[in-house]
A and B are shown apart, each in its own frame.
Chain A
Amino acid sequence: MTTPRRAAVLGGNRIPFARQFGAYAEASNQDMLTAALEGLVARHGLAGERLGEVVAGAVIKHTRDFNLTREAVLGSSLAPTTPAYDVQQACGTGLEATILVANKIALGQADSGVAGGVDSASDAPIVVPERLRRKLLRLTRARTTAERAKAALAIRPTDLGIQVPGATEPRTGMTMGQHMAITAERWGITREAQDELALASHRNLAAAYERGFFDDLMTPYLGLTRDENLRPGTTPEKLASLRTVFGEGDTATMTAGNSTPLSDGASTVLLGSPEWAAEHGLAPLAWFVDGETAAVDHVSGDEGLLLAPAYAVPRLLARQGLTLQDFDYYEIHEAFASTVLTTLAAWEDPDFCRDRLGLDAPLGSIERDRLNVTGSSLAAGHPFAATGGRVVATLARLLHEKGAGSRGLVSVCAAGGQGVVAILEGA
């Protein structure tokens, strides 16, 4: 066993994110991941290069895409001898992929790698209803004509139909938004605070584009040069005028403006050891310091579906000997504005920190002007598995601008009551 070494984030590339049925309606997961990967390869001069590993995934994936990432590698200019594998941890996929690649580099099992993710809400696989599926399989198994006829006759017109996958939790039957509405109400998160966060997301993202922040983090795709969901001109009045879509009655606070839209897109991050980076003339943007995952029991209703990062972060801080205030930037994925606000409220709440996290004192509050400073998912959109790569590349660039030793915290909530968090340090 070798002594762990540091893994560097060397760069990132994504395609602009599109709204569902928007500019990427015709593109498959493999098309988008290939485009994002090829842009990364071109920008860093990696054509023909054999990398240690490419790790990516998609949340909504067709069965034919079992080797999605490997197929994207074969469609790219990377050496075909570059291995790849798929991971899937819902919206945590991209960040989990980054942790996996960074760990292998740290252990000396790889010198370089790419982490990424992709999702399409437009090109989703269509599934036949379960009853029809079982009957069709029985028909396939039938050997004799009589068996075949019997199996075929069992299919009724009422069995026919298609199901488009949705963002519903299998065990609760509720969508993510419905879950979040319950949590937001429990924590008393106001509509005004959510709209304010959404407005900041759009303004920060627009400002980041204006100053060219994304110029070397993005490759145009299918005519898009900016995230399709970005509304630079949105106003508090416009956001306040939207009707609520999750929650019920007068207490509902969540709208299409303060919830992320279904989106299409892909992102990639290049990681490497310091030696590999030097050999390839690449300067580290940031160091990958540590990562942590957590899960909560959302099934019994004990905890909110999207609150697992609230548990993961204090464990990570304890391991690193850091406090919540020791960071220059916070990237908290905006699944919904209320997710971010609930997480921040939980860390400020003495009861939650004592009873749930087992801490003597609350983690405390953060300086809000360090949160999602170049926008986040509310403005950019959220192609589930692609968000982790977007955030890691963005934060690495921010930390590089800030200088060596600066620190950033990433927090991504995920379906199934899970959360993935990580710490990066400026290089």
Chain B
Amino acid sequence: MSVATETLPALPSTGALLVRAALTARGRGGDTVPAVSVRVADVAVDRHRLAAYQRLTGFPVSDTLPHPYPWVLALPVQTALMVRPDFPLALPGLVHLSSRATGTRAVDAAEPLTLEVTAGDLRPHRRGRTVTTRVEASAGGETVWTCENVYLSRGPGEDAAPRDAVPDAPTGPPAARWRLPADLGRRYAAVSGDVNPIHLHPLTARPLGFPRPIAHGTWTWARTVAALGRVAAGAVTTHVRFTRPVPLPSTVELVRAGGDGLVTAALRSSRDPGGTHLVLTAER
């Protein structure tokens, strides 16, 4: 199957795209994903936004892009793909299930990045259907970061659908305990551009089925990667599974296991240590 590439002149505005996504949510369907890549060339990193992201996610303010940062940079590109009329799933209500990102080297904020997002397969899931997107960031023609994301569109599911094998969360005493404030979703929305209402406020989350706003999965991913330090920087593959939403405000605990080559980390609720929010592996 050949994939056509649609090149946008600049990063679109995520806010405007999300409005379009909401207006065109009804009536989407079909079993095929458009065979298209959406691409924006030579995106310059805004250092103020990067510094705000680094501060909010626990990275040092530096020239090196945090491992998950290209996901944030590419969010408008991915959103542009998902609001195309021929995209089969409605964006509002999509649940981020997992991401598997590979950095090939440290990326400097001064390097313009070309961002390309391609939609992958539709697959059955026991709670609906999933779609995969592949994000690729390249600098000067060299691929420096790739990421496969899986999103769930809730609906009639297939019980027989294969399940993703999530590694066991490490157990034992916490390595860190973080108090996540009620406004974390709003603060992360401001630095990431991900203004999904389920993250912002109880009043905006409730109509979408969440009694309290939930933390952005990509914030929990970034905060966990930041806590792992140098073992999850530069040339590394992280595979994160978002197993249960983190309501805001709440207190979560980081647990980690493993050493040099492979680290497994998890976030769990401090009230209910059995309740795992995220399991992440970092492999070098």
Task: Please give the residue numbers on chain A whose beta carbons come within 8 Å of chain B beta carbons, in ascending order.
Answer: 26-28, 30-31, 34-35, 74-75, 77, 220-223
Task: Please give the residue numbers on chain B whose beta carbons come within 8 Å of chain A beta carbons, in ascending order.
Answer: 47-48, 51-52, 55, 60-63, 109-110, 229-230
Question: Could you say which of A31, A77, A220 contacts B61, with CB atoms under 8 Å apart?
Answer: A31
Interface centre among B47, B52, B55, B63 (most CB of A within 10 A): B63
> What residues of B have a CB within 8 angstroms of the CB of A74 in the complex?
229
Determine if A222 and B60 form an interchain contact, defined as CB atoms under 8 angstroms apart. Answer: no
Known: A77-B230, A223-B47. A31 touches B62 (CB 8 A): yes
For the complex, give the distance between the alpha carbons of A223 and B50 in Å.
Answer: 12
Known: A75-B229, A77-B230, A223-B109. A30 touches B60 (CB 8 A): yes
Determine if A220 and B63 form an interchain contact, defined as CB atoms under 8 angstroms apart. Answer: yes
Question: Could you say which of B61, B110, B229, B230 contacts A26, with CB atoms under 8 Å apart?
Answer: B61
* Chain A nearest CB, measured from B245 CB (Å): 30
* Chain B nearest CB, measured from A50 CB (Å): 15
Known: A26-B61, A34-B62, A35-B60. A222 touches B229 (CB 8 A): no
* Chain A nearest CB, measured from B256 CB (Å): 14
Determine if A26 and B62 form an interchain contact, defined as CB atoms under 8 angstroms apart. Answer: no
For the complex, give the distance between the alpha carbons of A133 and B52 in Å.
Answer: 29
> What residues of A have a CB within 8 angstroms of the CB of B60 in the complex?
30-31, 34-35, 75
* Chain B nearest CB, measured from A218 CB (Å): 13
> What residues of B have a CB within 8 angstroms of the CB of A28 in the complex?
61
> What residues of B have a CB within 8 angstroms of the CB of A221 in the complex?
62-63
For the complex, give the distance between the alpha carbons of A222 and B60 in Å.
Answer: 12
* Chain B nearest CB, measured from A358 CB (Å): 50
Known: A77-B230, A223-B109, A223-B110. A26 touches B48 (CB 8 A): yes
Q: How many A-B residue pairs have CB under 8 A?
A: 35
For the complex, give the distance between the alpha carbons of A223 and B55 in Å.
Answer: 18
Question: Could you say which of A26, A30, A35, A220 contacts B51, with CB atoms under 8 Å apart?
Answer: A26
> What residues of A have a CB within 8 angstroms of the CB of B52 in the complex?
26
Interface on chain A toward B: helix, strand, loop, or mixed SS? loop
Would you mind naming 28 contact pairs between A and B with Cβ atoms under 8 Å apart? A26-B47, A26-B48, A26-B51, A26-B52, A26-B55, A26-B61, A27-B51, A27-B61, A31-B60, A31-B61, A31-B62, A34-B60, A35-B60, A35-B62, A74-B229, A75-B60, A75-B229, A221-B62, A221-B63, A222-B51, A222-B61, A222-B62, A222-B63, A222-B109, A223-B47, A223-B63, A223-B109, A223-B110
> What residues of A have a CB within 8 angstroms of the CB of B51 in the complex?
26-27, 222
* Chain A nearest CB, measured from B105 CB (Å): 13
For the complex, give the distance between the alpha carbons of A75 and B51 in Å.
Answer: 16
For the complex, give the distance between the alpha carbons of A75 and B47 in Å.
Answer: 20
* Chain A nearest CB, measured from B55 CB (Å): 8
* Chain B nearest CB, measured from A331 CB (Å): 29
> What residues of A have a CB within 8 angstroms of the CB of B55 in the complex?
26
For the complex, give the distance between the alpha carbons of A222 and B61 in Å.
Answer: 8
* Chain B nearest CB, measured from A85 CB (Å): 20
> What residues of A have a CB within 8 angstroms of the CB of B230 in the complex?
77
For the complex, give the distance between the alpha carbons of A27 and B62 in Å.
Answer: 8
For the complex, give the distance between the alpha carbons of A31 and B47 in Å.
Answer: 14
For the complex, give the distance between the alpha carbons of A30 and B60 in Å.
Answer: 8
> What residues of B have a CB within 8 angstroms of the CB of A26 in the complex?
47-48, 51-52, 55, 61
